[in-house]
């Protein structure tokens, strides 16, 4: 086979998740050789509508094409869990409509003792069920502040801080299902794959959204969830079954999961080689991989909000960290000159910490800041470390408000 023919075959294997030891550098090199590859056939596993099915009223969401960011003002007085009607949506393409009765989950690969095993929704519900409150957060949450607050150029959806949500997810441990499927002792990686339409960028069909997990994480705390806040998963949030990976970036929590590969060697996909790596000054040329989220805080209000001057108000917000529970939150109402400790309320030690602080503002413009420290001693910095794709923004966000 000639070189270009071989390269094209390797690229097609990679976009299908079948190539091993295939890096982002390989992808860029092959793209240069091929000058662009024709799109591969899209999966016909599910019909797509949308891109988002549920209503997106402007008082609850800011819409970015296939994505919808929750407005933080919509969370005030809403309780610990984010209601489904205002939970953010991150879609690479569009929300598929899937028949739950016909849905099947195929588990396959060299990391199993035998051949492929298939489960239906009723099969999963026969396993012992568990419920956990877990935060799901896009890796790019806060991306817009690299530009607005730090004057740096980044690419990707210009999220504020609303690409995060905590829900109570109910389902079965992925580890139970993998063991039932016949997990082999030499298994290395586990890669869930979504049933949403293939993601095409730059004329190349990258296939279904998928991202590998090491077997240790897959067997630890990962959930195959079929309920959200006590209801069957809505279409936009992964019906009939999605993956929930606590503490990791949202891309790991694959929605509409339909296949799971269990491998005997490391797996690669565009979502851990081309995307969701840290590129830029101080990072390796091939990018630095990452999995976990960082620490953040947000006020339950929109930037530019107005308060009554001379009247006591209660500022409320939430802080969260993938490294552990929040130990303390400090709030500044004068742009960072002085800080006061906020009062925690609600569940302590959970997926995030709610807090409040009384404030009697004078007339005029003010700048609010909140910074959190978690139990491991991680405190939000004044400046986030820049990367060109705008991931993991963890700096204290400055929120302008007015008292009138």
Residue 201 is encoded by which pair of tokens? Answer: 């960028």
pLDDT above 90 as % of the chain? 87
Q: Please, are residues 372 and 296 in contact by the beta-carbon 8 Å criterion?
A: yes
What are the pLDDT digits (tens) for 188-244? 999 999 999 999 999 999 999 999 999 999 999 999 999 999 999 999 999 999 999
* pLDDT attached to residue 270: 97
Binned at pLDDT 50, 70 and 90, residue 73 comes out as very high
- Whether the per-residue pLDDT at 89 is higher than 60: the answer is yes
**CA–CA distance from 1 to each of 4, 7, 305 (Å)?**
8, 10, 64
- Whether the per-residue pLDDT at 278 is higher than 90: the answer is yes
**Mean pLDDT, the chain, whole residue set:** 90
Q: Quote the distance between the C-alpha of residue 261 and its chain's center.
A: 21
Binned at pLDDT 50, 70 and 90, residue 393 comes out as very high
- Whether the per-residue pLDDT at 36 is higher than 60: the answer is no
Residue 322 is encoded by which pair of tokens? Answer: 């993938």
* pLDDT attached to residue 252: 98
Q: Please, are residues 200 and 261 in contact by the beta-carbon 8 Å criterion?
A: no
Residue 334 neighbours by CB distance under 10 Å? 12
Mean pLDDT across 58-78: 97
Beta-bridge partner residues of 118: 106
Q: Pairing mode, if any, of strands 399-403 and 306-307?
A: parallel
Q: Please, are residues 206 and 15 in contact by the beta-carbon 8 Å criterion?
A: yes
* pLDDT attached to residue 35: 33
* pLDDT attached to residue 46: 44
CA distance 81 to 318: 11
First to last CA, the chain: 74
Contacts of 327 (CB under 8 A, 6+ apart): 373, 374, 375
Residue 78 neighbours by CB distance under 10 Å? 11
Q: Please, are residues 69 and 61 in contact by the beta-carbon 8 Å criterion?
A: yes
Q: Please, are residues 329 and 353 in contact by the beta-carbon 8 Å criterion?
A: yes
- Whether the per-residue pLDDT at 137 is higher than 70: the answer is yes
Q: Quick one: CA torsion of 198, 200, 204, 205, rounded to 10 degrees?
A: 0
CA 321, 199, 193, 108 torsion-angle sign: negative
Burial of 311 (0-12, 13-18, 19+ CB in 10 A): exposed
pTM given for the model: 0.88
* pLDDT attached to residue 251: 98
What are the pLDDT digits (tens) for 91-117? 999 999 999 999 999 999 999 999 999
- Whether the per-residue pLDDT at 21 is higher than 90: the answer is no
Binned at pLDDT 50, 70 and 90, residue 281 comes out as very high
- Whether the per-residue pLDDT at 68 is higher than 50: the answer is yes
Binned at pLDDT 50, 70 and 90, residue 59 comes out as very high
Mean pLDDT across 145-152: 98
* pLDDT attached to residue 50: 63
- Which residue, among 300, 293, 294, has the nearest Cα to 370 in the 3D structure? 300
CA distance 38 to 360: 61
């Amino acid at each position: 086979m000639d070189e270009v023919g071989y390269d094209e075959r390797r690229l097609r294997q990679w976009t299908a998740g079948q190539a091993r030891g295939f890096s982002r550098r390989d992808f860029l090199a092959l793209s240069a050789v091929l000058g662009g590859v024709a799109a591969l056939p899209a999966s016909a596993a599910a019909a797509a509508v949308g891109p988002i099915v549920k209503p997106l009223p402007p008082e609850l969401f800011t819409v970015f094409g296939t994505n919808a960011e929750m407005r933080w003002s919509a969370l005030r007085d809403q309780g610990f869990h984010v209601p489904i009607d205002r939970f953010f949506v991150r879609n690479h393409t569009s929300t598929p409509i899937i028949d739950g009765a016909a849905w099947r989950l195929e588990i396959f690969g060299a990391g199993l003792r035998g051949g492929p095993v298939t489960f239906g929704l009723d099969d999963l519900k026969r396993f012992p069920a568990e419920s956990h409150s877990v935060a799901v957060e896009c890796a790019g949450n806060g991306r817009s502040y690299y530009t607005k607050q730090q004057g740096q150029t980044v690419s990707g959806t210009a999220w504020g801080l609303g690409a995060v949500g905590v829900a109570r997810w109910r389902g079965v441990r992925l580890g139970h299902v993998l063991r039932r499927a016949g997990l082999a002792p030499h298994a290395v990686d586990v890669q869930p794959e979504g049933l949403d339409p293939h993601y095409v960028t730059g004329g190349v069909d990258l296939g279904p959204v998928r991202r590998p997990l090491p077997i240790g994480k897959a067997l630890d705390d990962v959930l195959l969830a079929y309920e959200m806040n006590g209801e069957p998963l809505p279409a936009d949030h992964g019906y009939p079954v999605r993956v929930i990976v606590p503490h990791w970036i949202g891309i790991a929590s694959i929605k509409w999961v339909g296949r799971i590969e269990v491998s005997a060697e490391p797996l690669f996909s565009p979502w851990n080689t081309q995307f969701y790596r840290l590129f830029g000054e101080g990072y390796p040329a091939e990018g630095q991989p990452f999995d976990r989220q960082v620490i953040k805080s947000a006020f339950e209000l929109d930037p530019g909000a107005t308060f009554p001057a001379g009247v006591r108000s209660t500022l409320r917000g939430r802080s969260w960290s993938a490294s552990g529970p929040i130990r303390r939150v400090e709030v500044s109402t004068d742009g960072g000159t002085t800080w006061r400790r906020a009062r925690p309320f609600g569940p302590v030690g959970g997926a995030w910490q709610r807090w409040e602080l009384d404030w009697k503002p004078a007339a005029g413009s003010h700048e609010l800041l909140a910074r959190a420290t978690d139990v491991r001693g991680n405190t939000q910095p004044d400046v986030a470390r820049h990367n060109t794709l705008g991931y993991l923004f963890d700096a204290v966000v400055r929120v302008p408000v007015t008292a009138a």
